[in-house]
Amino acid sequence: MSKLDKTNEHEEHTPSSSFSREIEKEPGGADIQHCIQCGMCTASCMVASVTEKYRPRKLIQKILLGMREEVLTSELPWLCMTCRQCEERCQEDVSLAEIFHAVRNIAAREGYIPVGVQKVVDTVMEDGWMLKDGYSDFIEDDRDDLGLHTDLGWNNEFVKKIKKRFIDGGNKK
Ligand code: SF4
Ligand code: SF4
């Protein structure tokens, strides 16, 4: 059976809470009550492998237990890389990436956005570019050396503006 065919394929599991019901109604949060807390997601997670503070199973548990404020004010839901490795292995077809998107959407609406994330958003909104040194001629030069087309179909006006702004130290306008 494909994932598209599933209807009530998995049962709900307790506990639930008003917060987990809230997440359930948010786009992406529909499957949260199917979690059986097996821990396969944490065992599969690349972020969890590099930091002990990030434990996706535990984060789901906190939602199920209704720890709304703690979850929404935490940076942890923002650490998910959306790689979906956990989803490949979850026997209950729980989409943690989508659930954490739902959590982040609620958190953002209520003004809980980690400072680092907010700074990136502000930079993109202001400059249209995320990293100060994100553009260089090196890709074009390398391609030229190899006899390849150097026009990669980017928005050249945009790139020129960014290059002027960040590489050539020109006018910010
Ligand atoms: S792998 Fe799935 S069922 Fe197991 S703890 Fe993670 S989300 Fe829950
Ligand atoms: S989707 Fe998120 S929680 Fe799942 S393995 Fe990737 S980083 Fe970890």
Mutate to test the pocket of ligand 1, among 38, 42, 99 (most ligand atoms within 8 A of CB): 38
Query: Percent of the chain beyond pLDDT 70?
Result: 69
Residue 134 has what pLDDT? Answer: 54
56-64 helix and 96-109 helix, angle to the nearest 10 degrees: 60
Q: 46 or 136, which is more confident? A: 46
| Residue-level pLDDT at 46 | 92
For residue 84, with 0-12 CB atoms within 10 Å meaning exposed, 13-18 middle and 19 or more buried, which class applies?
middle
Whether the predicted pLDDT of 165 surpasses 50: yes
Is the distance from the beta carbon of residue 75 to the nearest atom of ligand 1 less than 6 Å? no
Q: Which residue type sits at 125?
A: M
> Looking at per-residue confidence, does 108 or 151 come out higher?
108
Q: What is the pTM of this model?
A: 0.73
Q: Which atom of ligand 1 is nearest to the CA of 57?
A: 5
Domains in the chain: ranges and CATH? 10-109 (1.10.1060.10), 115-167 (no CATH)
